[in-house]
Amino acid sequence: MSAPNAIPHHIAIVMDGNGRWATRRYLPRVAGHRQGVESLRRCVRACSDRGVRVLTVFAFSSENWNRPPEEVSGLMELLAMALGREVPQLKDDGVRIHIVGDRSTLSEKMRLGLAQAEATTAQNTRLILNVCFNYGGRWDIAQAAAKLATQGEAITEASLDRAMALSHVPDPDLLIRTGGERRISNFLLWQAAYSELYFSDRLWPDFDEIALDEAIADYGRRERRFGLTSGQIASSGSDRIAA
């Protein structure tokens, strides 16, 4: 059983509700995304302060290209701006950035910017921040299988796991979705097999340190069995038994 107030090693978040936050204030949807960047800044700092070692966020899904063109364009501009503004501070704070997703459809300028952000923070070790951009869980599984097929390697559970886009970190312990929805929307389909799920009614721009602490506290009260019984977990003396 997880110890009281246990801190998850890896938290993943579906940052939902930016557009609705803006609409309720009679603002353009992109204004909500800008406010969402502020919430992400707070969340990164809070996770680092609380001892979380990996934070993975769903910034832009492969399905988001179907949104109104002005919103997509605004998101691209916001990403470029955020990289320029946030990366130096993240470097100083010991945060290492990984951009996870399909870069093949992005502009050369955007690809260079993402690579530069990763290179700038490559030596940091306090917190790993995975930003899932143009990402989808089905895409991830498909690209892993294609990679193994190209290499002539047998497709097994273990080999697929090594070929996933997030193979550089352990699977998430806690997956949070904000915005009141109760689904994971093609996010980390492989990696979230045994994640604890937590759904918050708060829209992402309103998700603050108190809300994060509530999610972590809820996680700390749960028993993680990974397919075993409570008795087996108790006798093992560990809540980190692999499935």
Name the residues annotated as catalytic. 16, 64
Instruction: Give start and end residues of each alpha helix (H) in the chain.
Output: 18-23, 29-50, 69-92, 108-120, 137-151, 157-163, 209-220, 230-236
Q: Which of 209, 204, 212, 207 is nearest to 20 (CA)?
A: 204
The DSSP symbol for 13 reads E
**CA angle, 164 as apex, 162 and 166 as ends, to 5°?**
100
CA distance 19 to 3: 37
Q: What is the DSSP string of 42-83?
A: HHHHHHHHHT--EEEEEEEEGGGGGS-HHHHHHHHHHHHHHH
Burial category of 52 from C-beta neighbours within 10 Å (exposed 0-12, middle 13-18, buried 19 and up):
buried
Exposure string over 179-203, b if 16+ CB within 10 A, otherwise e: beeeebebbbebbbeebbebbbebb
Burial category of 209 from C-beta neighbours within 10 Å (exposed 0-12, middle 13-18, buried 19 and up):
middle
